[in-house]
């Protein structure tokens, strides 16, 4: 036996609080934050004149942001069938967000490209993203936003390095 006297554990308010689970676990908070963000984004876009966006359109905007893609490439990027990609593309084309273009090297292929309306909607969505980040910075500071970004990137793991990982995590259907 030790000659040292035994210390009695003292429960403090902070240790008692640590024993209680938080009101919302991290997964619930992440889900609530994403849903609140999407709701605000869709409201913002509707007020900016883009009130006819379908739930999958954002994925297509991101996919076509850098270059036109064939229907097969779009389906692969979104991890859906070509038929699923065709359905979304037809709807977006009908609403003036994308157009079909002839491929410069293969006449059998038609490429999907953003129209000026599609590029404008994407710019507006990106402006919203930047505004939300500025708002968050005003509330929690630049260090808090940087810490939140680091935490989210850590949770996302290797997916952060894959520019199409968002399509894996949030399939359009």
Structural domain contains residue 7? no
Structural domain contains residue 3? no
Alpha-helical segments (H) within 23-81: 26-47, 57-64, 71-78
User: Which range marks the domain in which residue 146 is found?
Assistant: 23-169
Which position has the token pair 């894959």? 162
Quick one: DSSP state of residue 163? T
Taking the mean position of all CA atoms in its chain, how far away is CA 23?
Answer: 25
Structural domain contains residue 14? no
Structural domain contains residue 5? no
Copy the structure tokens of residue 166.
């968002």
Percent of the chain with pLDDT over 90: 68
User: Which CATH number belongs to the domain containing residue 77 in this structure?
Assistant: 1.10.10.10
Residues 6+ apart with CB under 8 A from 38: none
Structural domain contains residue 40? yes
Structural domain contains residue 10? no
What angle in degrees, to the nearest 10, is found between the helix axes of 71-78 and 82-94? 110
Structural domain contains residue 15? no
pLDDT at 106: 92
Tell me how far apart the alpha carbons of residues 155 and 26 are, in angstroms, rounded to a whole number: 11
Copy the structure tokens of residue 26.
């991290």
How many domains is the chain built from?
1
Position with higher pLDDT, 12 vs 70: 70
Structural domain contains residue 138? yes
Label residue 160 by pLDDT band (50, 70, 90): confident
Quick one: DSSP state of residue 28? H
pLDDT reading at 6 higher than 70? no
pLDDT at 24: 78
pLDDT tens column, 63-86: 999 999 999 999 999 889 999 999
Position with higher pLDDT, 116 vs 162: 116
Percent of the chain with pLDDT over 70: 83
């Amino acid at each position: 036996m030790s000659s040292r006297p035994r210390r009695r554990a003292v429960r403090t308010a902070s240790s008692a609080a640590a024993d209680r689970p938080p009101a919302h676990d991290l997964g619930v908070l992440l889900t609530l934050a994403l849903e609140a963000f999407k709701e605000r984004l869709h409201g913002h876009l509707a007020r900016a004149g883009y009130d006819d966006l379908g739930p999958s359109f954002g994925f297509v905007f991101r996919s076509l942001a850098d270059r036109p893609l064939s229907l097969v490439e779009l389906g692969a990027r979104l991890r859906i069938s070509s038929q699923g990609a065709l359905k979304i593309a037809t709807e977006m084309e009908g609403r003036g967000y994308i157009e079909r273009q002839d491929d410069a090297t293969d006449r059998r292929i038609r490429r999907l490209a953003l129209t000026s309306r599609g590029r404008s909607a994407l710019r507006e969505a990106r402006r919203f993203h930047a505004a939300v980040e500025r708002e968050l910075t005003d509330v929690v500071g630049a260090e808090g936003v940087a810490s939140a970004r680091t935490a989210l990137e850590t949770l996302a793991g290797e997916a952060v390095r894959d520019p199409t990982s968002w399509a894996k995590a949030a399939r359009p259907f």
